[in-house]
Structure 1
Amino acid sequence: MTSSKTVLITGTSSGIGLAAAIGAARAGWTTIATMRDTGKAEALLKAAAEAGVEDLVRVKRLDVTDSAGITACLDEVVAEHGRLDALVNNAGAAQVGTIEQSSLDDVRAAMEVNFFGVVAVTRAALPHLRASRGRVITVTSVGGVVGQPFNEAYCAAKFAVEGFMQSLAPVAATVGVDVTVVEPGAVASEFVANLGLDLPALLAAAGPYAPALEAYLARTRQSFDNAQTPAEAAAPIVDALALPRPPFRVQTSQWARDFAATSLADLDGSAVGALTGAWVR
Structure 2
Amino acid sequence: MTSEKTVLITGTSSGIGLAAAVAAAQAGWTVVATMRDTGKAEALLKAAAEHAVTDRIQVKRLDVVDPDSIATCLDEVIAEHGRLDALVNNAGAAQVGTIEQMSLDDVRAAMEVNFFGVVAATRAALPHLRASRGRVITVTSVGGAVGQPFNEAYCAAKFAVEGFMQSLDPVAATVGVDVIVVEPGAVASEFVANIGLDVPALLAAAGPYAPALQAYVARTQKSFGNAQTPSEAAASIIEALTGDRPPFRVQTSEWAREFVGTTLADLDGSAVQALTRAWLR
- Report the TM range for the smaller structure's normalisation: over 0.9
Q: Which runs of 4+ in 1 moved over 3 A?
A: none
Unpaired segments ≥5 residues, structure 2: none
The offset of 1:3, in angstroms, is 6.5
In structure 2, give the amino acid aligned to 1:255: W
Corresponding position of 1:235: 235
TM-score of the aligned structures, taking structure 2 as reference length = 0.99
Offset, 1:22: 0.3
Whole-angstrom distance in 1 between the partners of 2:71 and 2:163? 24
Instruction: Give TM-score, length-normalised by structure 1.
Output: 0.99
1:197 deviates by 1.0
Matches within 5 A, 1:26-175: 26-175=26-175
Deviation per CA, 1:135-182: give whole Å up to 9, x if none.
000000000000000000000000000000000000000000000000
Residue 219 of structure 2 corresponds to 219
SS where residue 197 of structure 1 aligns? coil
SS at match of 2:279: helix
Alpha-carbon distance in structure 2 between the residues aligned to 1:148 and 1:198: 20
Counterparts of 2:278 and 2:75, CA distance in 1: 49
Superposed counterparts of 1:177-196, under 5 Å: 177-196=177-196
What does the per-residue CA deviation read over 1:246-266, in whole Å, with 9 as the maximum and x for residues that have no partner? 110000000000000000000
1:237 maps to amino acid:
I
Q: Secondary structure at the match of 1:280?
A: coil
Provide the rounded CA distance (Å) in 2 between the counterparts of 1:219 and 1:250: 25
Contact conserved, 2:23 with 2:235, CA < 8 A, in 1?
A: yes
- Residues 23-82 of structure 1 show CA distances to partners (whole Å, capped at 9, x for unaligned) of 000000000000000000000000000000000000000000000110110011010000
Alpha carbon RMSD of aligned pairs, Å? 0.8
**Aligned partners of 1:260, 1:195: CA distance in 2, in Å?**
24
How far apart are residue 245 of structure 1 and its match? Answer: 1.7
Is 2:20 aligned against 1:16? no
Taking every aligned residue pair, what percent have the same amino acid on both sides?
84
SS of 2:96's equivalent in the other structure is coil
Name the amino acid aligned to 1:157.
A
How many Å apart are 1:111 and its aligned residue?
Answer: 0.2
Which residue does 1:277 correspond to in 2? 277
For each residue in 1:172-207, what CA deviation from the matched residue of structure 2 results, as whole angstroms up to 9, or x when unmatched? 000000000000000000000001111111000000
Q: Give the letter aligned to residue 90 of structure 1.
A: N
Letter in 1 for 2:234: A
Indicate conservation of the 8 Å contact 2:3/2:56, yes or no: no
Distance 1:256 1:3, change over 3 A: closer
Q: Which residue identity does 1:277 align to in structure 2?
A: R
